[in-house]
Structure 1
Amino acid sequence: MSQLDIQGNRSGRHHSSSYIFKRARWEISRILFRLTPTPLFELRSTILRMNGAQIGKDVHIHPGAIISYPWNLQIGDESSIGERAFIDNHGDVTIGQRATISQCSHLCSGTHDYTDPTMPLLMPPINIGDDAWVCAGCFIGPGVNIGTGAVIGARSIVVKNVAPWMVAVGHPAKEIKRRELKEKTT
């Protein structure tokens, strides 16, 4: 059996100069992002846009949300990201329209190839569909697609795709029923 090649993983230059500059600019911008009062959602969206994110209209991102790489983030109109949600987006993370990422959830689009002794970084994208709800404290793993209208129950761990309009819960999350919206009453 081979052993891991830690020096192989750590050697060499992993990032270009432009990437290092972009990362440094975001680290400075993130201070302002976190200091903005909660109701200033548009200001936080503007700060993210200035750092490469594609943010739709009327998006509510709370100041305690942690976004690792704004240039790998796309959010549709009227979506929200709650307090202490962690968007660890080494790879692209796309959040559809009217989608909710609740507080303390963790979307992680980075992993490593554990079969390679140097364990290179892999960056499979995450896609959250329109009208989906990732409830409080969930973990969404690399390469996962959450279908349109799906609901991920609180504290669930999702490592496989969830079909549209399904409710999924557990560790690992399993689809348990179809999400049915009630008729709107006036």
Structure 2
Amino acid sequence: MPKPVHYNAAEHISSDTAADPYQRPAFPLRDRIRRQLWNICWTLLYRTSPRPLHGWRSLLLQLFGATMGPNCHFYPKSRVWAPWNLVCADQVTAADGAEIYNPAPVTFGSHAILSQDSYICGATHDYDDAAFPLLAYAMSFGAYSWICARASVAPGVKVGEGAVLGLGSVATRNLEPWTIYAGAPAVRLKERRRHEQSSSEPA
């Protein structure tokens, strides 16, 4: 079953913007301006903030439209491409170097963790279309899921509650709840012991 596309640049960007489709912007001007303002904020206020000031960084993300639950820990070197497409429950962690490329909404459940240099890729391009338009996908990460250091999650992949993606692994398909995956592409290794405080419903 194909993944539903949340945003297709071909539906939003006129072909009149450039004769060569590779020179057309992927997003409308308003969105590009908003991202530039966020980049300035990240450089001057977010990136330079002391490590313990998680509340300050959550506030900055919220000012740009993010939904942040209590006690989220986003470290100074973490990157969020579009805060207005970020939804976090409580105690979500993004370590230094973790990057969330989210042209479409990305949702994190309670206690979800992104370790150092992990990468969440929320978009790709339609390589079968001569115009090569950007395609963005909504993504979700269940409560207590863990994306380990230097692991990557491909566009449109859903990570179930309690799922673990191992060190340096690449998830190209949905990860089942309370299951451990590793490899490139990631394959199922074994089940993970469920936490008593977790919900019974998968993400």
TM-score (norm 2): 0.83
Deviation at 1:18, TM superposition (A): 2.7
Secondary structure class of the residue paired with 1:118 = coil
Once the two structures are superposed, the pairs formed by residues 7-26 of structure 1 within 5 Å of their partners are 7-11=20-24, 14-26=26-38
Q: Distance in 2 between matches of 1:18 and 1:182?
A: 43
Shift of 1:177: 0.6
Please give the alpha-carbon distance, in whole angstroms, between the structure 2 residues aligned to 1:8 and 1:47. 35
Q: Does 1:66 align with 2:79?
A: yes
| Aligned counterparts, 1:59-98, within 5 A | 59-98=72-111
**What residue in structure 1 maps to residue 139 of structure 2?**
126
> How far is 1:60 from its partner?
0.2
Q: Which residue of 1 aligns with 2:61?
A: 48
Q: Sequence identity of aligned pairs in percent?
A: 35
**Of 133, 158, 179, the match for 1:145:** 158
Aligned residues: 179
Partner of 2:173 in structure 1? Answer: 160
CA contact (8 A) 2:80 2:102 kept: yes
Report the counterpart of residue 177 of structure 1 in structure 2: 190
Q: Does 1:28 align with 2:40?
A: yes
| 1:48-91 deviation digits (Å, cap 9, x = unpaired) | 00011111110000000011111111111011000001111122
TM-score by length of 1: 0.90
What displacement does 1:130 show?
A: 0.5
2:50 is matched with which residue?
37
CA contact (8 A) 2:58 2:68 kept: yes
Give the SS at the match of 2:182: strand
CA–CA separation in structure 2 for the residues paired with 1:180 and 1:111: 34
Higher relative contact order (CA 8 A, sep 6+): 2
> Following TM superposition, where does structure 1 have runs of at least 4 consecutive aligned residues deviating by more than 6 angstroms?
none
Q: Quick one: which amino acid aligns to residue 20 of structure 1?
A: R
Q: Distance between the aligned counterparts of 2:93 and 2:50, measured in 1? A: 16
Could you tell me whether the CA contact under 8 Å between 2:35 and 2:81 is conserved in 1? no
Unaligned runs of 5+ in 1: 1-5
Which secondary structure does the structure 2 equivalent of 1:146 belong to?
coil
Root-mean-square deviation over aligned CA pairs: 1.9
1:87–1:183 Cα change, 3 Å: closer
For residues 138 and 161 of structure 1, what CA distance do their matches in structure 2 show? 14
- Alpha-carbon distance in structure 2 between the residues aligned to 1:182 and 1:73: 25
Deviation at 1:9, TM superposition (A): 3.1
